Amino acid sequence: MTLWTAAEIADATGGTASAAFSVEGVAFDSREVGPSDLFVALKGDATDGHRFLAQAFAQGASGALVSEDADGPNVRVDDSFAALEDLARAARSRTAATVIGVTGSVGKTSAKEALFAALDRSMRGSFPGTVHRSVKSYNNHTGVPLSLARMPRGTRAAVLEMGMNHPGELAHLTRLVRPHIAVVTAIAPAHTEFFADEAAIADAKGEIFQGLEPGGAAIIPFDSPHRDRLIAAAQPHAGRIVTFGTGKDADVRAVEAIRLPTGASFVTARLGPRELSFTLSQPGAHWVSNALAVLAAVDAAGADLGLAGLALAELGGLAGRGARFLARVGGGEALVIDESYNANPASMRATLAVLAEEPGRHIAVLGEMRELGEDSARYHAGLADAVMAARVETALLVGEAMTPLAGVLEKTVRVVHVPDTARAIEGLRDLLSPGDAVLIKGSNGVGLSRLVAALRGQ
């Protein structure tokens, strides 16, 4: 299906088309360009997308968005990044979709994927068209406009993830997205290098409400110590405010959450006078919170809650965010919990709590947490109680910033401290035995996904 024609791209961006063409997708990473895509040649500090035009066309691109002379069908603009934002605005303007924006210090990608699954399941039989979402974790100043530009014109609902690591970033992104529903999953220490305190992080996350469409809904974590701050941020912009959590006054709350032998949870949620009981396939209290936020957003969108519950029961683990697999170890297998995509103190604690519930010997491979600023040593050392509560026998710590945690743990837990992922890969197999449960988690820049790939035999 045609996503954009050259004439539409030129009209949206104020550019000039060199020829007539049509595209079915949009990409700015030349490695991701596929047949019939539009390649957006962005200029950055490290590289220039114009250098990869030949590669993009060789991979099947139908056209390119460029800011300098180029061979091949293209739309020429003054600034390709500004043009990408213009294309995003045009995509948002032409859609009749219910648009949902998701942010938070932790859980936003997981909640986005769960919300997509819930809406897709609940709308599949009732509405024509599609449910659209951000791919991967495309949630920054380039990823959000790209996700919008990729949105088909017949979309019925869209779930767009928005992230930030500086004040003011979300205010800009949310005005591009213009959500009808804005969700904040949780507030926790993350990117603290750039914020005075956690309250400042809450203020920055609360910027998402500034882009709400008139009458829009704000979905806010009831149990957060920053709840009232978020409510105050939402009040000038939201038509209604819905809270979720375990507190008895939450609008959407978990009446009970029972862990099943499989690791899943059986949850009973109350939404005003209604109750919904469902199985949540993903383990952990943090996933119960995610599920409540999803139900609040599904309800605000007017979609089917019962079918959303079925989708939550079927939800699989996401690569780097809770995916599980069995790795061959000696003459048997070890359970691997892949949380390698990213980490901050709150998500570390949440996933260590999941490890605590697993049978067998527990091994934790923990990579350093980045962008924590001058409090980094305190945050790392502060994980010791969560590691010990998870009954970790061996902690394989990766990166220099893990030194404070190693110092606290070494008297009670076997600690192996290595400088990088390459050393971790070398040492981990010697630590594993059949029947072990292994948690792998760290900031994305540490590269623990390579260790996961090694355990998968890739």
- Give mean pLDDT, residues 136-161: 93
Tell which residue, 422, 376, 334, has the closest CA to residue 192.
Answer: 376
Q: Work out the burial of residue 381: count CB atoms within 10 Å of its CB; fewer than 13 is exposed, 13-18 middle, 19 or more buried.
A: middle
Asked if 181 and 217 touch (Cβ cutoff 8 Å), the reply is yes
192 pLDDT band, cuts 50/70/90, is: low
Q: Each residue of 31-79: pLDDT tens digit?
A: 999 999 999 999 988 889 999 999 999 999 999 999 999 999 999 999 9
Q: Is the pLDDT of residue 132 over 60?
A: yes
Q: Is the pLDDT of residue 127 over 70?
A: no
Known binding positions: 104-110
List all residues 6 or more positions away from 230 whose beta carbon is below 8 Å from its beta carbon: 184, 187, 202, 205, 206, 218, 220, 221, 224
Q: Which residue has the higher pLDDT, 236 or 108?
A: 236
Q: What is the mean pLDDT of the chain?
A: 93
103 pLDDT band, cuts 50/70/90, is: very high
Known binding positions for ATP: 104-110
Using alpha carbons, list the distances in angstroms from residue 283 to 76, 262, 452.
49, 9, 20
346 pLDDT band, cuts 50/70/90, is: confident
129 pLDDT band, cuts 50/70/90, is: low
CA angle, 137 as apex, 399 and 141 as ends, to 5°? Answer: 100
Largest CA distance in the chain: 70
Q: Is the pLDDT of residue 375 over 70?
A: yes
8 pLDDT band, cuts 50/70/90, is: very high
Q: Give me the residue label for tokens 């040649």.
A: 41
427 pLDDT band, cuts 50/70/90, is: confident
pLDDT score recorded for residue 141: 92
Q: Which residues pair with 259 in a beta bridge?
A: 265
pLDDT score recorded for residue 67: 97
Query: C-alpha dihedral over 299, 301, 303, 308, to 10 degrees?
Result: -60
Asked if 454 and 325 touch (Cβ cutoff 8 Å), the reply is no
Q: Each residue of 232-243: pLDDT tens digit?
A: 999 999 999 999
Domains parsed from the chain with CATH numbers: 4-80 (3.40.1390.10), 95-314 (3.40.1190.10), 323-455 (3.90.190.20)
Q: Is the pLDDT of residue 100 over 80?
A: yes
Buried b (16+ CB within 10 A) or exposed e, 21-32: bbbbbbbbebee
For residue 356 the two structure tokens come to 């605590």
Tell which residue, 167, 390, 388, 187, has the closest CA to residue 284.
Answer: 390
Tell which residue, 135, 141, 197, 136, has the closest CA to residue 164.
Answer: 141
Q: Each residue of 136-145: pLDDT tens digit?
A: 778 899 999 9
Q: Which residue has the higher pLDDT, 385 or 191?
A: 385
pLDDT score recorded for residue 374: 87
Spatial distance between the Cα atoms of 128 and 391, rounded to a whole number of angstroms: 50
